[in-house]
Amino acid sequence: MARAIEEMRVRGAPAIAIAAAYGVALAALEASRNADAETVDKAASKTGVLRRIEEAVRRLRQTRPTAVNLFQALRRIEMVVAMSRDLTPAALAGRLAAEADRMAAEDVAVNRRIGTFGAAVFRQPVRVLTHCNTGSLATVEYGTALGVIRSLHHQGKLRHVWVDETRPFLQGARLTAYELLADGIPFTLITDSMAAHFMRAGQVDAVVVGADRIAANGDTANKIGTYGLAVLCHHHRIPFYVAAPSTTFDLSIPSGASIPIEERASGEVTHVLGLPVAPAGVCAAHPAFDVTPAELITGIVTEFGVVEPNAERIRATLAAGGRQEGGDGA
């Protein structure tokens, strides 16, 4: 699972988080079966299973540094482990799998709410530009920014989607285009370099993107290319929305300056799907994310509503949302 995340076979902040939770559950299941098979000393075998779980958490934590949902999910799994120390290895594995299932179900519900809140922002049918992939292939189902686009479509408020191909990994061309084709949502694929041209031509009414980590002040790390889009929106007076679950916020980080930006392999830029597009020996940079300062963001669409991107509003919204969730669960 760790390799799948590193190699971006599973990608998208919410999908990575859930995949990691299942990864720990798988490690626990495997370890508990071995423990059952070799049982001599029950206490020793329990210790072995717990050690294996710790190792899995540590390994998964090292896969990708930028998206915070991964760390939030692993912390939640660790809490479940801590509260389940008296269970047998098999029961513990089952408990972790159930927790991962619960997180997956929550992700779908959260995305539906993000979609509803995001679509409510727009009164008239709009042409939306999006970057990267934030749909069913980046979450458990429905999506964040693509969830907003899906909701707009269902409500008859979507005129068109502009899909940035999203170099270097081409998530837009490969994944978002696939999802929109499958759903019959009208869209046009463009290279990232065309967005400004269509904005100037008055053909883009809004930009909606996802997020990998949002600092306490609203600064947002997301797929490389997002920041440039935000600047272009500012210049063209086009609203720029971030759509992300509350687990994307990292209140321990005051601003975007402290968000670690993953630097991926140069070969992912010099090659496209394994095919070289630059001469041998060329050095390429590959920051996988960039940071958009809060002042360029019109609003952040969460499962608790659309938040103005400033520290006070963010803290208040997350606190109120957390209380409400606690209430729902009680």
Residues 160-189 that bind a second copy (CB under 8 A): 164-168, 170, 173-174, 177-178, 181, 187-189
Q: In the stretch 243-282, what mask flags binding to a second copy with x, by CB under 8 A?
A: --------------------------xx-xx-x-xxx-xx
224 sits near a second copy (criterion: CB under 8 A): yes
Tell me if the bond preceding 186 is cis, omega within 30° of 0: no
Q: How far is Cα 221 from Cα 260, in angstroms, rounded to an integer?
A: 9
By annotation, the residues acting in catalysis are 212
Which residue of 101, 106, 183, 192 would you call a contact of a second copy, by CB under 8 A? Answer: 192
196 touches a second copy (CB under 8 A)? yes
158 forms part of the interface with a second copy (CB under 8 A): no
Binder among 42, 51, 197, 323 for a second copy (CB under 8 A):
197
Structure tokens at 287: 């920051």
The one-letter amino acid at 268: E
Indicate whether 198 belongs to the interface with a second copy (CB under 8 A): yes
Residue 136 lies near a second copy (rule: CB under 8 A): no
Closer Cβ to a second copy, 39 or 191, answer by number: 191
The answer to whether 100 and 22 have CB atoms below 8 angstroms apart is yes
The residue range among 85-93, 224-232, 244-252, 313-321 that interacts with a second copy, by the rule CB under 8 A, is 224-232
Number of residues located near a second copy, criterion CB under 8 A: 48
Can you tell me the distance from the alpha carbon of 112 to that of 142, in angstroms, rounded to the nearest whole number?
7
Burial class of residue 202, CB neighbours in 10 A (0-12, 13-18, 19+): exposed
CB 215 within 8 A of CB 256: yes
Q: Which of 86, 177, 87, 185 is nearest to 133 (CA)?
A: 177
Which among 304, 298, 290, 289 is positioned nearest to 245, based on CA atoms? 304
Enumerate binding residues for a second copy (CB under 8 A): 164-168, 170, 173-174, 177-178, 181, 187-198, 200, 224-225, 227-228, 231-232, 234-235, 269-270, 272-273, 275, 277-279, 281-285, 287, 290-291
